[in-house]
Amino acid sequence: MRVKRFTAETLEDAVGLVKEEFGDDALIIETRRVRGGVLRFWRRPGYEVVAALESDARPRRTELAVQPRIETGAPDPWIRLHALLRSQGLPDVTIQGVMQIVQASLADEPGPLDWPRVRQAAAAHMLGGLSCVGADEIVGERGVLPVIGPSGVGKTSVLTKLATNFALLGGRRVAIVTADTQRFGAVEQLRAYARLIQVPFEVAETPAELKAHVEAHADKDLIFVDTPGCSPYADDELRNLQSLLAVLDRPVTYLVLSATTKWEDLFDLTRRFERVGYERIIVSKLDETRTFGAVYMLGVTAGKPLAYLTTGQDVPEDIEVAEAERVVGLLLASEEM
């Protein structure tokens, strides 16, 4: 990656120099106003822009897609928004869309635009696209809740967190059934946990056993069903999982995906797990990343609402109901510019 500092009397001129040398793929890392002064006597007051270019990106000369409206004395809020969204890993086409809509929404605003106003307008627009189940529906949850997803994403952890919260804090009648008899030690580990929180625990080796266990616990408010990790690229595993869940009557199935996965892969996973069928999405391991563009894109494009976010390994506390404000807040708050 090449990183270079560009200086000019105006911010527009500095950005122009960046574009001239690095082209459209340049990532603006920092913009700031510089003063002339004792140690800078050779330098007139102006603006500094630090820009980076991936080493394999080719400089191209094109027009700036977004023409910044300059507010003197502060980093340009449009450049700042663009850099932030980019650093969060949002795809370029989404960034352009957000920038254009937010610019249009603020076009008639009087006076200079500062960062808080631009940020707030961006947040308002981005909130609108995110689909979340919400606390009201979650609190009233009833039925059979299978947890599915790729291996190691945190399915069993989610299940133990939810079972504990609903049983011990929510006072619901809960049962746990595991269909994960493949992974060594998985059954005994979950059995021990279920005993600890005093929740009935069953093991289902076959779809028929799963059906029987669920029927035997028809008096429960919630029956959580753990499933083995399923490779989204193994047709037989998807088929097995699908036929396992096919015995259930209107389950509310949760797909667990990790926040550390690339956005393109997350999108692919949401499509592949359609074969099994699921109603809601849980995003795990938010604590293991500092870029949240993928989580946002998941909420916007999956066609299924986000239900929970998990934020660590501690049971039962590291889980929260997914809220659009939280996701957008993570996305727009994590910059230090």
Ligand X SMILES: Nc1nc2c(ncn2[C@@H]2O[C@H](COP(=O)(O)OP(=O)(O)OP(=O)(O)O)[C@@H](O)[C@H]2O)c(=O)[nH]1
Using CB under 6 A, list all residues that contact ligand X: 151-157, 180, 183, 229, 284-285, 287-288, 310-313, 318
Residue 230 β-bridge partners:
none
Cβ distance to ligand X smaller for residue 49 or 179:
179
Which helix (H) or strand (E) segment holds residue 288: the answer is none
Instruction: For residues 164 and 16, give the distance between their C-alpha atoms in angstroms, rounded to a whole number.
Output: 57
Apex 53 CA angle, 52 and 57, nearest 5:
170
Site for Mg ion in 99-158 (CB under 5 A): 155-156
Q: Which residue is nearest to Mg ion (CB)?
A: 156
When CB distances are held under 5 to 8 angstroms depending on the partner's kind, the choice from ligand X, Mg ion, none that residue 258 binds is none
Cβ distance to Mg ion smaller for residue 131 or 178:
178
Closest approach, Cβ 96 to Mg ion, in A, equals 40
When CB distances are held under 5 to 8 angstroms depending on the partner's kind, the choice from ligand X, Mg ion, none that residue 157 binds is ligand X
3-state secondary structure of 47: strand
Apex 325 CA angle, 226 and 152, nearest 5:
25
When CB distances are held under 5 to 8 angstroms depending on the partner's kind, the choice from Mg ion, ligand X, none that residue 4 binds is none
Instruction: For residues 320 and 297, give the distance between their C-alpha atoms in angstroms, rounded to a whole number.
Output: 19
Instruction: For residues 290 and 287, give the distance between their C-alpha atoms in angstroms, rounded to a whole number.
Output: 8
When CB distances are held under 5 to 8 angstroms depending on the partner's kind, the choice from ligand X, Mg ion, none that residue 305 binds is none
Cβ distance to ligand X smaller for residue 15 or 167:
167
Q: Are 115 and 68 in contact (CB under 8 A)?
A: no
When CB distances are held under 5 to 8 angstroms depending on the partner's kind, the choice from ligand X, Mg ion, none that residue 287 binds is ligand X
Q: Are 10 and 47 in contact (CB under 8 A)?
A: yes
Residue 258 binds Mg ion, judged by CB under 5 A? no
Cβ distance to Mg ion smaller for residue 77 or 232:
232
Q: From the centroid of its chain, how far is CA 202?
A: 33
Closest approach, Cβ 176 to Mg ion, in A, equals 12
Applying CB under 5 A, which residues contact Mg ion?
155-156
